[in-house]
C-alpha cells in the first residue's frame, strides 16, 4: 500500500515539471504526471524488493529524485523532437 506514495510523489514531480519546462503547448497535459508516477512507482518497487524499508531515507528520496531527472530529460527530448517535426511538416506543406 505504501507504493502509492511513490506514485503520488512521481506524479507531483511530473506535474510540476510539465509547467516549469518550456514547450508545454506541444505535449499533452497528462504525459509528464503519468510518466512521473510510473517512474516513482518503479523506483519504490525496486527499492522495496531490494529490502529497503520506509525507515531509510533512500526510499523517500528516490521517488522524488528519479522522476525529476528522467522526466526532465524526457520532456526536453520530446519538445526538441516535436519542434523539429513541426518545422519539417511546415516545409513539406509549404506553410511559412
Q: d(Cα 41, Cα 35) in Å, to the nearest integer?
A: 10
The predicted structure's pLDDT at residue 96:
73
The predicted structure's pLDDT at residue 41:
97
Q: d(Cα 61, Cα 70) in Å, to the nearest integer?
A: 14
Residues near 74 by Cβ (< 8 Å), separated by ≥ 6? 35
Number of structural domains found in the chain: 1
Q: What is the pTM of this model?
A: 0.90
Let me know: does 67 contact 9? Beta carbons within 8 Å: yes
Per-residue pLDDT of the chain (96 residues; tens, 9 = 90+): 899 999 999 999 999 999 999 999 988 999 999 999 999 999 999 999 999 999 999 999 999 999 999 999 999 999 999 999 999 999 999 997
The predicted structure's pLDDT at residue 77:
96
The predicted structure's pLDDT at residue 30:
96
37: containing domain: 3-93
Q: d(Cα 65, Cα 83) in Å, to the nearest integer?
A: 27
Amino acid at each position: 500500500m505504501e507504493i502509492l506514495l511513490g506514485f503520488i510523489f512521481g506524479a507531483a514531480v511530473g506535474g510540476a515539471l510539465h509547467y516549469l519546462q518550456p514547450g508545454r503547448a506541444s505535449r499533452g497535459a497528462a504525459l509528464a504526471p503519468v510518466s512521473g508516477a510510473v517512474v516513482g512507482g518503479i523506483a519504490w518497487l525496486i527499492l522495496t524488493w531490494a529490502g529497503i524499508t520506509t525507515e531509510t531515507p533512500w526510499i523517500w528520496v528516490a521517488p522524488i529524485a528519479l522522476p525529476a531527472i528522467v522526466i526532465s530529460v524526457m520532456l526536453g527530448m520530446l519538445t526538441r523532437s516535436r519542434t523539429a517535426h513541426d518545422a519539417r511538416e511546415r516545409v513539406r506543406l509549404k506553410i511559412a
